Chain A
Amino acid sequence: MFAYILRRLLYAIPILIGVNLLTFALFFVVNTPDDMARLQLGAKHVTPEAIERWKVEHGYDKPLLLNTRVTGSAQLTDTLFFKRSAAMFAFEFGKGDDGRDIGNEIRTRMGPSLAIALPVFVVGLLVNITFALLMVFFRATYLDVWGVVLCVVLMSISGLFYIIAGQYFIAKLWNLLPISGYTGGIHGLKFILLPVLVSVVAGIGSGSRWYRTIFLEEIGKDYVRTARAKGLSEIRVLFRHVLKNGMIPILTGAVVVLPLLFMGSLITESFFGIPGLGSYTIDAIQAQDFSVVRAMVFLGSFLYIVGLILTDISYSWVDPRVRLQ
């Protein structure tokens, strides 16, 4: 088991290097520092001197891979790749265009992101499983049919609609919760409730419909018939036998997104004014702040790889067939 986990971790190293090289190529070769400067300065102010000045100010004036102007190991280290890309392995992302340290921003913004994403994840999982089990319990009745219809309706509606409807009814019309904003600590609760509620409702349709399919597939299997033949009640069959097997694909599907919760949600955070990583990314894209975007792309890939490793580990944790072989 230990060797297995170690092997997965070793596999992650070449993938991370690949991700790093790819982001480097995208951000510095496809879109050169000159292009960045032109975009930033706007068409009016573009002169070769202005571009040079912008590049010096932002530290983009170095060669890409090999610096021939210096000697020794600095030939390799005093380059864009080493300073900007390889440094990301140490989670040193440098400064954004606003002059703030990106690493610092990420650390402070993770909290608010998690404050929304984690409850959405946990509550969503519970709600979806409950809904799915209910539909499975009443399978092949009108309750099940209308449940599926409701799911399809729910998943057909744009996520933006839930946000706007939630803000309009709950916050504006009924004055139950604030429209947007965020503070830390226990007082922040009132700001968290609405985005969490909206996100969970927006996810019910696709989530519970998928879980229903998983449970229905399990319930058609022979071991379920065996369990019934023992004289177990339908509830016991559902909770002890079907749920346990159905949770294998559900859990492993959920674990992969677990690390990505740190990244927050782009849309929810910007609509509700949450100072998390999601809104940070959106703002950076709008402001053409390439350092921040690059940092977030790398961080996202890194967390996704962590998620995949966790998935592999969780497989062996929930499924004895994988664990013991």
Chain B
Amino acid sequence: MSPLLRVDRLVTGIGAARVVDGVSFDVAAGETYALLGESGCGKSMTALSLMRLLPDGGRILSGHVQLGETDVLALPERDMRRVRGGQMAMVFQEPMLALNPVIKVGDQIGEALSLHQGLNGQAARDAARALLDSVGVPDAARRLDSYPFELSGGLRQRMMIAMALAGEPSLLIADEPTTALDVTIQAQVLDVLRNLRAKRRMGMLLITHDLGVVAENADRVGVMYAGELLEEGARDAFFAAPQHPYSRMLFEALPRTGDAGRLTTIAGQVPRLDTQLRGCRFAPRCPFAIARCHAESPGWQELDGQRVRCHLAGSLPAGSVRERVTHPVAAHTPQPLLQVEGLKVHFPIRRGLIQRTVGHVRAVDDVDLTIQAGRTLALVGESGCGKTTVGKALLRLIEPTAGTIMLGGKAVPAKNMPTLRRQAQMVFQDPFSSLNPRMRVADILLEGMDALGVGARGERRGAVARLLDQVGLPDDAGGRYPHAFSGGQRQRIAIARALAVSPRLVICDEPTSALDVSVQAQILNLLKDLQADLGLAYLFITHNLAVVEYLAHDVAVMYLGRIVEQGQAGAVLRTPRHPYTQALVSAVPRIEPPAGQTVIRLAGDQPSPLNPPVGCHFHPRCPHASAVCRQTYPERTDLGGGHWVRCHWVAAQG
């Protein structure tokens, strides 16, 4: 049987760079083929080459793409337009940006229906409604008249999928379809894609950086690096024994359950693709590289059904490349550093002629937290749950509406910002926008010390050198501007900036979510080292549960402005009691799904904090909700060992 899609030695250039360099793979009908790789490896460019939708300046230099009977690259542009959206359709990463903001979604879907199926007017509307039903959009008829901004992220991505299905394609390309979504919503969308593929016997090209998504969805996997495919194989074989050193290091860079050791990092950076490359492209970063690797580009080798491009294939030392260093666990002396009680942040909603306050968005509503000195508390929740607001309110970057904040046993007076900020600092999510591009790194580090009067004036320059060394940056980094650094290095600068005033608490707001897996590993290692060396406490705000397991001692789970479950990390993540925590833990795509775990899928979206449900906020989505849940917000139920939960259902179980 000939495959649905055959890509043969595809080469794509953008300017002088060969961003896709000789990539070949097949996708069969009804199969999901995953292209896995970190940012800039050429996986998205491969997909855009197939669609012939390259950005300006990009062109396909050579190669062959066969879709069914069609030679895609030989088609004139006119005929290619029938293929796009007709035989092969694409779903993009960020549905808010990928949908036209000023056209109703029904009309955007209708456009594709009219183009490929000749449906117009009422017929198109009916067909669009049927499509929305098939991707699980509730209340489809009404939703057709919505604008994209009126929909939640999950619904928007379903609209994108419906639009892609409008031409009844035989191949669906999904480019990071769930990266911008929360885990519980990601699980819903991946289910939709899986069911549709099975029902319509579509081929699917799934582009992702997430090994967990690949493990749960793909039939076969191809790993890309610097424009080339390095390894290819069936999912089970690949996950059982990845053959290429790069693939293996990707696995070991991932934080995993019950793992105290250091994460593997990949030294160096992806080579520039606009230069002449000799030898294996991964050789400069490969711990196993031999002389031949640098001189000669490896060809494909077959190994038990897997194909790999590596000179050392089959002869790699077995086992892990990971260094086994366990950190001395800080002696557990319960000495609370930060105590927060009844923290509330309410934003007024103003309406009408004179902007009267008609209500409040309860972004944070009655949150209690305790962070022990030298330990890490992870604050976990989906977007919009208020976790970032908690972090900002603690530093008074947003003024809290109510609540007491005690630092080191003393209340922090509202007026005394310097005292507070000398002890607590923050590292922000996106290192590309959180550093002032017009300031040199040394000035960025000095600014905080100058403002808070930390250290003697003459010693501050020396402190900069020490800080740079502490976060693993070269000495000359201080004289350069942030744009001269990569994402991971910038996050190191951001960490150094926070450390400059020698705080005891660092609030890390999603510090690795904008970074690649291998870079994330470097930052997580650094944070762990700094904690061991300096005795720092972290409040780690994140949506990534794997990172929590790796880094955190304690966990607090937030839902709609309140903490629903809190306890030691192991207890909360391995035996979650609140139905929301259970769903959250089970929604994370995993490489090795824990045995015996039933998969819980939450229906619907997180409600708006503007108008939270009466009673327990979670009850409309909760599988165990009863009458009492709809009436009163549950009190704390203590489960021992510092583990507590707010849930009527758990309380009733005793």
Residues of A within 8 A of B (CB): 3, 6-7, 10, 139-140, 221-223, 225-233, 240-241, 244-245, 248, 318-321, 324
B97 close to A319 (CB less than 8 A): no
Chain B positions 141-176 with a Cβ under 8 Å from a chain A Cβ: 147, 149-150, 160, 163-164, 166-167
Cβ-closest chain A residue relative to B160 = A226
CB of A238 to closest CB in B, whole Å: 13
* Cβ contact of A227, chosen from B56, B97, B100, B353, cutoff 8 A: B100
Q: How far apart are the CA atoms of A290 and B373 in the complex, in Å?
A: 75
Main secondary structure of the interface of A (DSSP, over half): helix
B115 close to A231 (CB less than 8 A): yes
CB of B435 to closest CB in A, whole Å: 25
Stretch at the interface among B87-95, B411-419, B645-653: B87-95
CB of A178 to closest CB in B, whole Å: 45
Cβ-closest chain B residue relative to A323 = B147
B595 interfacial contact with A, CB 8 Å:
no
Q: How far apart are the CA atoms of A7 and B102 in the complex, in Å?
A: 26
B98 close to A223 (CB less than 8 A): yes
A232 close to B115 (CB less than 8 A): yes
CB of A138 to closest CB in B, whole Å: 12
CB of B644 to closest CB in A, whole Å: 39
A7 close to B86 (CB less than 8 A): no
A230 close to B147 (CB less than 8 A): no
Cβ-closest chain B residue relative to A140 = B56
Cβ-closest chain A residue relative to B166 = A230
B102 close to A228 (CB less than 8 A): no
Q: How far apart are the CA atoms of A98 and B353 in the complex, in Å?
A: 46
Chain B positions 89-143 with a Cβ under 8 Å from a chain A Cβ: 89-90, 92, 94, 97-103, 111-112, 115-116
Stretch at the interface among B2-10, B77-85, B460-468: B77-85
A245 close to B112 (CB less than 8 A): no
A232 close to B102 (CB less than 8 A): no
Q: A230-B84, A231-B116, A320-B102 are in contact. Are A140 and B57 (CB under 8 A)?
A: yes
Q: Could you say which residues of chain A place their CB within 8 Å of the CB of B101?
A: 223, 245, 320-321
Q: Could you say which residues of chain B place their CB within 8 Å of the CB of A222?
A: 92, 94, 97-98
B51 interfacial contact with A, CB 8 Å:
yes
A232 close to B81 (CB less than 8 A): yes
B353 close to A230 (CB less than 8 A): no
CB of B12 to closest CB in A, whole Å: 16
> Can you name 17 A-B pairs with beta carbons within 8 Å?
A140-B56, A222-B98, A223-B98, A223-B101, A226-B92, A226-B160, A226-B163, A230-B111, A230-B112, A231-B115, A232-B111, A240-B103, A241-B103, A245-B100, A320-B149, A324-B147, A324-B150
Cβ-closest chain A residue relative to B82 = A231
CB of A309 to closest CB in B, whole Å: 15
A229 close to B90 (CB less than 8 A): yes
B594 interfacial contact with A, CB 8 Å:
no
CB of B277 to closest CB in A, whole Å: 27
Cβ-closest chain B residue relative to A3 = B353
CB of A237 to closest CB in B, whole Å: 10
Chain B positions 492-542 with a Cβ under 8 Å from a chain A Cβ: none
B83 close to A244 (CB less than 8 A): no
B100 close to A231 (CB less than 8 A): no
CB of A243 to closest CB in B, whole Å: 11
Q: How far apart are the CA atoms of A245 and B353 in the complex, in Å?
A: 30
Q: How far apart are the CA atoms of A233 and B150 in the complex, in Å?
A: 28
Residues of B within 8 A of A (CB): 51, 53, 56-57, 81-86, 89-90, 92, 94, 97-103, 111-112, 115-116, 147, 149-150, 160, 163-164, 166-167, 352-353, 355
Q: How far apart are the CA atoms of A10 and B353 in the complex, in Å?
A: 9
Known: A222-B98, A226-B99, A231-B85. 18 other contacts (CB 8 A): A139-B56, A140-B56, A140-B57, A223-B101, A226-B100, A226-B163, A230-B115, A230-B163, A231-B81, A240-B103, A241-B100, A244-B100, A244-B103, A245-B102, A318-B102, A321-B101, A321-B102, A321-B149
Shortest 9 CB-CB contacts between residues of A and residues of B? A231-B85, A222-B97, A231-B84, A230-B85, A223-B100, A222-B98, A231-B81, A230-B112, A229-B90
Q: How far apart are the CA atoms of A139 and B89 in the complex, in Å?
A: 26
B97 close to A231 (CB less than 8 A): no
Q: How far apart are the CA atoms of A320 and B100 in the complex, in Å?
A: 11
CB of B273 to closest CB in A, whole Å: 21
Q: How far apart are the CA atoms of A318 and B82 in the complex, in Å?
A: 32
Q: Could you say which residues of chain B place their CB within 8 Å of the CB of A139?
A: 56
Q: Could you say which residues of chain B place their CB within 8 Å of the CB of A245?
A: 100-102
Q: How far apart are the CA atoms of A63 and B654 in the complex, in Å?
A: 88
CB of A216 to closest CB in B, whole Å: 10
* Cβ contact of A231, chosen from B102, B112, B353, B355, cutoff 8 A: B112
Q: How far apart are the CA atoms of A228 and B92 in the complex, in Å?
A: 12
Cβ-closest chain A residue relative to B116 = A231
A7 close to B353 (CB less than 8 A): yes
B53 close to A228 (CB less than 8 A): yes
CB of B109 to closest CB in A, whole Å: 9
Q: Could you say which residues of chain A place their CB within 8 Å of the CB of B85?
A: 229-232
Q: Could you say which residues of chain A place their CB within 8 Å of the CB of B89?
A: 229-230
CB of A10 to closest CB in B, whole Å: 8
Q: Could you say which residues of chain B place their CB within 8 Å of the CB of A3?
A: 352-353
* Cβ contact of B147, chosen from A140, A223, A232, A320, cutoff 8 A: A320
Cβ-closest chain A residue relative to B113 = A230
Q: A3-B353, A139-B56, A244-B103 are in contact. Are A225 and B82 (CB under 8 A)?
A: no
CB of B509 to closest CB in A, whole Å: 25
Q: How far apart are the CA atoms of A222 and B90 in the complex, in Å?
A: 12
Cβ-closest chain A residue relative to B353 = A3
Q: A223-B98, A324-B150 are in contact. Are A229 and B103 (CB under 8 A)?
A: no
Q: A140-B57, A222-B92, A222-B94 are in contact. Are A228 and B99 (CB under 8 A)?
A: no
Q: Could you say which residues of chain A place their CB within 8 Å of the CB of B98?
A: 222-223, 225-226
Q: Could you say which residues of chain A place their CB within 8 Å of the CB of B163?
A: 226, 230
Q: Could you say which residues of chain B place their CB within 8 Å of the CB of A7?
A: 353, 355
CB of A5 to closest CB in B, whole Å: 10
Q: Could you say which residues of chain B place their CB within 8 Å of the CB of A226?
A: 90, 92, 98-100, 160, 163
Cβ-closest chain B residue relative to A225 = B53
Q: A7-B353, A226-B99, A241-B100 are in contact. Are A231 and B83 (CB under 8 A)?
A: yes
Q: Could you say which residues of chain A place their CB within 8 Å of the CB of B94?
A: 222
Q: Could you say which residues of chain B place their CB within 8 Å of the CB of A230?
A: 84-85, 89, 111-112, 115, 163, 166-167
Q: How far apart are the CA atoms of A120 and B207 in the complex, in Å?
A: 52
Q: How far apart are the CA atoms of A86 and B101 in the complex, in Å?
A: 46
Q: How far apart are the CA atoms of A6 and B352 in the complex, in Å?
A: 10
